[in-house]
Structure 1
């Protein structure tokens, strides 16, 4: 596992503006690497990838989104974009790309993978995006542990904070 330091992006539906750091969307709906009930913060290394991720299921009309940037300095990040990282985790690109939503009842392979990685102290993973239209260079980061402090520091960037202060949901 390595340290990741940089800026990541997330596209929020305006209804989630009250909690851009919460991970509550994953708690309520689950995700590829988080079963329902598990907080997870899904972000992308490029804003374009965050947009692709947020538009899944809306192929003909883009929906309103708020793009946020996060400053990250996080230890315990496993890179699953490489064969070496996949081998270290005991997984494969095929398993990572599995149709997890079709396997909610029995639990997806990616949920079992994330449980094992979390048990070994993994705070986050880097993984290819499997959103429609994503290319090999479209990479996501999924946090299972994050806070405003080391070793899992993830903070809303100052620019994004100013943006959120201007938004008023009526």
Structure 2
């Protein structure tokens, strides 16, 4: 049963994301998440995974191998987005009837066995209720309580879901020609 009131936030901040350098020319696409799925999106559902701290973006991008660091392109983004739910707030989780186990489920294992992960079901429910994104704990190896992510399902160049990559000096590649 859906709650009558969802405690949506308007988020204006800077977030961070570590990209595989191959995809640095398209830092706003969400295509990788759409192709492969993620904790909060099933395959076919675009999502943009970002972190609220640069250190968290590093942890997430290294996928638990912080001492065997792989090359990455770290970007920052300006966010001005409505329709965000903070799933790190116990009151929001309670209002949604969601427990921490729904967020931290072994989503890859469940998906591999043909079982819809609770985090996917939650994401689809929230999208259906108008959510543009969620703030969630990081589940990366060695993440602490201060490590949180912003996952977006609706984003673009315009309000109310505006996100812009910070590239004041045009350092990001404009296309993928360097990879041919």
- How many angstroms does 1:157 deviate by? 1.5
The answer to whether residue 117 in structure 2 is matched with residue 108 in structure 1 is yes
Spell out the pairing of 1:1-170 with structure 2 (5 A cutoff).
1-56=8-63, 58=65, 60-104=67-111, 105-159=114-168, 162-165=170-173, 169-170=178-179
Is residue 129–residue 138 contact of structure 1 (8 Å, CA) maintained in 2?
A: yes
Give the match's secondary structure for 1:25: helix
Matched residues in 2 for 1:66 and 1:107: separation? 32
CA distance in 2, matches of 1:158, 1:60: 28
TM-align CA RMSD: 1.7
Residues matched between the structures, number: 169
Partner deviation per Cα, 1:30-61 (whole Å, 9 max, x = no partner): 10000011100000001110010011153541
**Structure 1 segments unaligned to the other structure (5+ residues):** none
Query: For the pair shown, which has the larger CA radius of gyration, 1 or 2?
Result: 2
Any runs of at least 4 consecutive aligned residues in structure 1 with deviations exceeding 4 A, and if so which?
165-168
Secondary structure, aligned partner of 2:105: coil
Change (3 A) 1:129 1:24: same
1:63 is paired with a residue of what secondary structure? coil
Contact 1:86 1:92 (C-alpha < 8 Å) held by counterparts: yes
Q: Is the 8 A contact 2:64 2:142 kept in 1?
A: no
Shift of 1:79: 0.2
1:117-160: per-residue Cα shift (whole Å, max 9, x none)?
0000000100000000000110000000001100000111134x
Point out where structure 2 has 5 or more consecutive residues left out of the alignment.
1-7
Structure 1 length as normaliser, TM-score? 0.94
Q: Say whether the 8 Å CA contact 1:10–1:42 is kept in structure 2.
A: yes
